Amino acid sequence: MENYGMRHLASSDRKTPLLAIIGCGLVSKLGHAPALEFLSRHGLCKVTYLVDPNLNRAREIQMFFPQARCVKSIDELDLKQLDMAIVATHHRLHEQLCRKLLGAGLHVLCEKPFCSSASEAKGLVELASKNDLLLGVGLLRRFAPWTAAVREILQAETFGKLISFDFSEGRFGMWPTQEFDFVKRETSRYGVFLQLGIHITDLLIHWFGLPERFELFDDCMGGLDVNASLQAEFANGSRGTLRLSFDRSTKQRLFFQFEKAWIACDTVNFEKLEFGLKGSTALESYLCRKVWFREIPQLSRISASFSQLFVYQLLNFFAALNREEDLLVSAEAALSSMQFIESCYAQSKLMKMAWLSSEEEERALALRGAGL
């Protein structure tokens, strides 16, 4: 198992980055802020600005960082007094915010989805490279213990060759958002396959590479897709299905069928890995990063809850700042996922919905073609 950022923790000459959190919604409140507060208590970072047009939201997060200033816009930041920024706004704003921050010489960790389009993402990748700056993307599941375990099993062919996979994720109200911009055509270009699927497509590419053949079916009828199903086949002959939904419950797991056994990852519990051999009952295993650092005993056996994955992500980013390790999720990797998702959307078809009459299906196809 990778122990992200552990070399950085052990370094005696590590730099303490000064940073701003830009966007103080739920992902900052539930993820970034608790993780940064934990790390700042141990001298690993210092949050100096909280930025949100709604100052009340910024002040809610200020309880974690009493010394941080709350401002409405990045125009109020003293950029020369910052090393990096975390961009956690709606993704329609990511490109303009990241471009300004990178242009000012700041390293950036941007939430997912990276951008509204692959062309926007490519422009930011080029700008970060030109300015020799770090640009990471918050595809958090790369830091889940089962992500590394699955990759090791695939590479070592522990249970033989992979035959098939069946991934499903989604349930109504799975993210307790304060706003619903993510399902509005006016504010979002794509629906569930981008916004939820970005996590799983990133893992697919990380584990298998890009598929040789793929086909996307969704329920878009001129608005945004709320349900989507991807069928994909890879160079090694394995094939499978990814099902995503914003409005119905799914199994919430990633299932792999190998020649000799099967394994399943729980998309809610990032430590839980189920497996079963042929003819045996299912077994459960709980993975945990076995690390030890004498200055921070809490990290000696840290579990992989949602908020703790943010700790791993930030430790990796800080270590990359110190040139001690590479970014696990670089902007280049996120760009590859964005490009694949756009390719899928460009060829997508209306999924079969048995409750539609032939007339309703014709109308749905017409609306889909018109983009209304």
Domains detected in the chain: 6-140+304-330 (3.40.50.720), 142-291+337-350 (3.30.360.10)
How confident is the model over 299-329, as pLDDT tens digits? 444 445 777 899 999 999 999 999 999 999 9
> Does pTM top 0.75 for this prediction?
yes
User: 286 or 230, which is more confident?
Assistant: 230
Cis amide bond preceding 113, omega within 30? yes
192 vs 209: CA distance, rounded Å: 22
Listed in sequence order, the residues at least 6 apart from 318 whose beta carbon sits closer than 8 Å to its beta carbon are: 5, 8, 14, 17, 39, 44, 45
Q: Helix 118-130 to helix 331-346 angle, to the nearest 10 degrees?
A: 160
The single residue listed with the structure tokens 């001690």 is 324
Distances from the Cα of 273 to the Cαs of 152, 203, 287, 314, in angstroms? 13, 16, 7, 24
Residue 1 is predicted with a pLDDT of 44
Environment class of 79 (CB within 10 Å of its CB; exposed 0-12, middle 13-18, buried 19+): middle
Across the range 262-271, mean pLDDT stands at 88
Q: Between β-strands 261-266 and 84-87, what pairing exists: parallel, antiparallel or unpaired?
A: unpaired
Residue 169 is predicted with a pLDDT of 92
Q: Which of 134, 94, 124 is closest to 111 using CA atoms? A: 94
The yes-or-no verdict on residue 181 having pLDDT over 60 is: no
User: 292 or 308, which is more confident?
Assistant: 308
242 vs 231: CA distance, rounded Å: 7
How confident is the model over 14-23, as pLDDT tens digits? 789 999 999 9
Across the range 238-242, mean pLDDT stands at 95
Q: 232-260: buried (b, 16+ CB within 10 Å) or exposed (e) per residue?
A: bebeeebbbebbbbbeeebebbbbbbbee
The yes-or-no verdict on residue 237 having pLDDT over 50 is: yes
Copy the structure tokens of residue 307: 């908020």
For the chain, give the longest Cα–Cα distance. 70
28 vs 284: CA distance, rounded Å: 32
Q: Helix 118-130 to helix 94-103 angle, to the nearest 10 degrees?
A: 10
Average pLDDT over all residues of the chain: 87
The yes-or-no verdict on residue 93 having pLDDT over 90 is: yes
